[in-house]
Structures are given as C-alpha cells and as structure tokens.
Amino acid sequence: MSNASAAASDHRPDYTRQPNNSKLKHIPGKNGWPIIGVLPELRNDVFKLAETRWKEFGPISRVHFGPQPGVLALGPDMAQTLLLDGDRNFSTRMGYDYALRPFYGDNLLCLDFDEHKFQRRIMQTSFKTPSMRSYVEIMNPILERGMDVWVFDDSFRFYESVKNLLLRMTCKVFYGVEEHDEGSDELAQAFVDILDAQEGIIRLDLPGLKYHTGKNGQRFLRDYITKLIPIRRAGDGQDMLSHMCKETKPDGSYFSDEEIVDHASFLLFAAHDTTTSTLNHLMYYLAKHQDWQQRLRDEGAAQHKDYLDYEDLGNVVELDAAFNEAQRLNPSVTVLVRRSIRECELAGHRIPANTMIFQLPMFTNRMSDYWTNPHSFDPERFFPERAEQKGHPFCFMPFGGGAHKCIGMHFAAMQSKLFMHQFLRKYEFRLPDDYKVAFTYIPMPKIKDGLPLVVEKRRA
C-alpha cells in the first residue's frame, strides 16, 4: 500500500477495520477441500461447481474459496440485490481488498459509495466520445503492425500473441508510451510480473517469491507513472493518462499523483487481461463455427474499409452479437466479490456482518431459465427479435452492474471489434484437426493450451 493510501485508511469507515466473518455453520453448504476449498473445481469447471450447488442448496450456500470462508450467491436475483445495493450494505472495497489493493492501491474497485462516485470523476473525460474516437485512430495502425509480424507456424498460440499485442497497444493508449520509448520493455515486464504475483500463495515480499517479483513490478510501475504525470499534465496528449492528469475536483484542484497512479495502474490490468480473455474465446468459437466466421467477414467487407472508424462500430451488429455471446459463455471475470457491512438476509438466510459473498457470472449467463440451448454458441440470441438478454435485468452482466459497472466496457468492446475486423479481412482460421479444448478459469478465464490455430492469409 502506498503511503498516501495508508494514511487515508486512518479515515476509513469502521467496517474496513473488521476481520472477515468465519461463523457460517448455520448456512447449508460444503466448504470444499482443506486449505484450498473449492479452488480446483473453480479452476476447471465453474458451471458444474455452481450448478451442483444450485441443485443441492439453492441460491445461497456456505463455501471456502481457498482458505477464505464465505457465501456463494447464485442467480440473477442475488446479482441484482448485491450489485444494485440500495441499502449500501455490500462493500466492493472489502471484497477485493486482499486480491487487488496490495498491487493497485485505492483503485476504483477498492472504493465504496461516495468515495467511489467521487473518484470516478478522474475518468470522466477518458471515456467520452471525442476521447474514444482518438483511441481508435491510435489503435488501428498498432493492431495492423502487430498482427502482420505474427508467424503462423505449428508453435503459434493465439493467447500469448494477442496478449503481447494488446499490452503494447494499451501502454500507448493509456499512458502515451511508444514501443521504442525508454523503459517501455521494463514497463511491459513489470505489468506481467504483477499479474503473475496475484497467483502466488505465499504473500511475503521476500526475494525468490512470486509476490516479491510482483511487488518489484508494482514499484517500477508506480515510479514510471509518477514521472510521466507532470509531462502529461503539461502536454496536449490524447492518451488516458493525459486526460486523468488534467481532471479537477470541485474546488478546481488536480487529483493527487497518488490517486492518479492508483487508477492508472489498475486501468491497465482491468482493460488488458479482460480483453485478452474475450478475444481468446471469441477466436475459438469462430474457428469452431466457420459459418459465423464467414458471416462476420462478410459484414466487415460491407464496410469497404481496412480499418473501422469510431462511427462504424454501430454498423457491425453481428460482430457485436458474437462478442456478447463469447462473453456470455465465458465471461472475462470468473468471480465477483462483495463483503457484507451489516447483518442482512439473502434468500431467507441470515448473513452476518463482514461475510465474504461470491458470485459466479458464468452460471447466470447459462441458466436455462433465461437462455435457449444455453451452452451453445448462438449470437442470434442477442438479435432484437430474440433479445434473450432481456429475460432478467441481471441474467447477462459481462461488465458487472450497479455503481461499479465497468467504466471501460465500451472501450473493451471497441478494441475487440477493431481487432476482429482487421484479422477477419486478412486471414482465415480453423482449429487443428482433432483438437479438444480445455478451459481454465482462474486467475483469468482462458484456454489452457493458449489456443493453437491454423491460420491462412486470404487472397486479395
């Protein structure tokens, strides 16, 4: 935690100082394995874990995610209660305090209620239409150059290739950092080290441990962004950091360097890995369903452009539906977490104060109560004549909901569409013969082997 964050914690509400509640024996359920709880099931088959719990215990059950005891809250009704949170009884900050705060400080996901609403002001220009239009102009040529140097041999894996490309692109869009700039390689590596450290079991800042490497990455990242702030504030850049540096509070003062660093470092994590996950799954489904691959290629060709402009994004309605369907089947965030502030009741069960509450969006996204053939890839379910996502306000929530609904959701969809438009115009792709897919879901959802693809350049 930064010095400013530590000082600010002295002024935080009392509930942030309370330990997590572990007294949950009155709630039916199963804790899972000693120490690791249900992590093996969560890693390998999220839907089966949730479906089994739903059938045996209903929407609420006792569970251990690793050593952490808590409550599993399933289904759209629970999602609506927790995410809309009209009584302000569910803390997002305390839900993610352990996982995210050590690396990203007081980021938006680790703030509650009025403080969260106030701090979102720092992003208000970054996601307005003029800014989004400028990002499109930045991203298109980077995407083209990146995919043009890919080598599609037997060792090609889509996941790592697109992950590296998107990381370089987001460094430019978020921070204004070019690939050849001094320290850009170290910046990219620092970010990767932070991500790897979040998987570490032993959280000690000691040499030889993943956590230590990640903390070193965090220190480099924070120092790097801090040095950029006066440069971006004085310049006329169109990157997100430039916008954030110039945002002001109601009294006309700038946000502090510490506040900017917290938000800017988390933004890279929130946008980069989630989009990588989405594209990973979308490419898999399009490689498997060649008819849909061609439909999207034809739709893109009808735009008569090598690049999509910002104004074109609303025209690719089938690509938008396919993007949503990939998100429905494999949402980019496996677990949403909140912690109760006061004792309350969920689905007839007494939930004590300071209880961790876990949601699994994939289960809601595949419930047969709301979706026809819920495990099938069928983007037409999002067409206006079917609109299955309207069966319940929270039966489809790829970007969360309520006050903490992802502020960058349109940006994520935008960069996915820009990439897919270019790739479909340049290449045809399929799965290797006799390919059998295996998914994994923590820390981020992805295909275990990195998604090998057979890619061929299209003839002009």
Is residue 65 within a helix (H) or strand (E), and if so which, with residue range? strand 60-65
The number of beta carbons lying within 10 Å of the beta carbon of residue 300 is 24
Phi and psi angles of residue 429, each rounded to the nearest 5 degrees, phi first = -150, 155
What domains are defined for the chain? 3-457 (1.10.630.10)
What is the pLDDT confidence band of residue 350, given thresholds at 50, 70 and 90? very high
Quote the tokens at residue 363. Answer: 């289960």
The whole-angstrom separation of Cα 342 and Cα 139 is 45
* pLDDT tens sequence across 9-63: 456 789 999 999 999 999 999 999 998 999 999 999 999 999 999 999 999 999 9
Residue 180, pLDDT above cutoff 90: no
Query: What is the value of pTM for the model shown?
Result: 0.93
Closest CA to 216 of 234, 189, 238: 189
In degrees, to the nearest 5, what angle opens at C-alpha 180 toward C-alphas 125 and 227? 50
Question: Residue 33 has what DSSP assignment?
Answer: B
pLDDT of residue 7: 43
Q: Report the share of the chain in percent with pLDDT over 90.
A: 84
Contacts of 407 (CB under 8 A, 6+ apart): 108, 120, 123, 127
Mean pLDDT of the chain: 93
* pLDDT tens sequence across 253-306: 999 999 999 999 998 888 878 899 999 999 999 999 999 999 999 999 999 999
30-57 b/e (C-beta count within 10 Å ≥ 16 → b): bbbeeebbbbebbbebbbebbbebbeeb
358-375 b/e (C-beta count within 10 Å ≥ 16 → b): bbbbbbbbbbeebbeebe
Residue 460, pLDDT above cutoff 70: no
Quick check: bond before 69 cis, omega within 30?
no
What is the pLDDT confidence band of residue 5, given thresholds at 50, 70 and 90? very low
Quote the tokens at residue 179. Answer: 């690939």
Contacts of 220 (CB under 8 A, 6+ apart): 186, 187, 190
Contacts of 393 (CB under 8 A, 6+ apart): 76, 80, 401
